[in-house]
Amino acid sequence: MTRAASTPRLRDDGAEAIARPVMVQRWADVTFLHWRYEPEVVQALLPDDITVETFDGSAWVALVPFRMEDLGLPGLPPVPGWGTFPEINVRTYVRHGPHRGVWFFSLDIDLLAPTVVARTVYGLPYCYGRAEHVRVGDVIVSTGRRRWPRPAAHEPQRQAGLELAVEIIDRDDGPVDPEPLDRFLTDRWKLLTASRRGTVRYGRVDHDPWPLYRGRLRHLDESLVAAAGLPAPSGDPNVMWAPSVDVRVDRPRRAS
């Protein structure tokens, strides 16, 4: 079935919505796990002209598994064979001049061709391997095992992966009223990338406000964060879940 793009609008943050998206998609069963990090630890992994953003004195690193659905072009059916797949992101939050957005350390999916396309067109660090993301009742289960790219010879050779179970809290009561930290972590309308030559690009995204629910971590065994070059996360994470949002994606642009 063809899914029409949603009507352009003005977002709650006052930014202009995307009038002519180059892609539409749906993000489903989005699970956010966020940990505090010292800002200088995260900054050390970023290009010089990209600055990590902080909240309450901390940088925040996220592990975000979800299910991509109905990926395609506006007004056309989803891409056959590529339209729906699980994805696992490791990310943080940054600024470049006037642009605030998400910085991805890795994006793991189980399709090789989209991995190559995303690395080439958007310059995003997509990785290929095994990935699953399912919801059974109020429990989200995500697993993954990276196959490509493999660690360099001088890096630890443990295969990066994930085993995760999160329980959704009080789903029948409806979404929570987001707190300032929740908005800082999730109200992000751009992604930022940098080429090997240092050229910074951004891509805008547009969707309705997140319907956020609290979550409880049941099980976690992961090495994706350490594979990004960060210390392994410690302490209890901030856990949230959202059922789905329909997303419009703009073309990548060079940041001035």
**CATH number corresponding to 23-254:** 2.40.400.10
One digit per residue, the tens of pLDDT, for the chain of length 256 reads: 444 444 444 455 445 689 899 999 999 999 999 999 999 999 999 999 999 999 999 999 999 999 999 999 999 999 888 889 999 999 999 999 999 999 999 999 999 888 888 888 778 999 999 999 999 999 999 999 999 987 765 565 567 999 999 999 999 999 999 999 999 999 999 999 998 888 999 999 999 999 999 999 999 999 999 999 999 999 999 999 999 999 999 999 999 7
Query: Which pLDDT does position 17 carry in this prediction?
Result: 85
Domain spans, the chain: 23-254
Cα separation, 96 vs 9, in Å, equals 25
Is the separation of the CB atoms in 209 and 12 below 8 Å?
yes
Tally of CB atoms within 10 A around 149: 14
Name the 3-class secondary structure at 42.
helix
Q: Considering the entire predicted model, what is its pTM?
A: 0.92
Q: Given this model, what pLDDT does residue 11 score?
A: 53
> Quick count: other Cβ atoms within 10 Å of Cβ 56?
9
Taking CA atoms, 127 is separated from 18, 211, 228, in Å, by 28, 28, 12
Closest by CA position to 244, among listed 124, 129, 135: 135
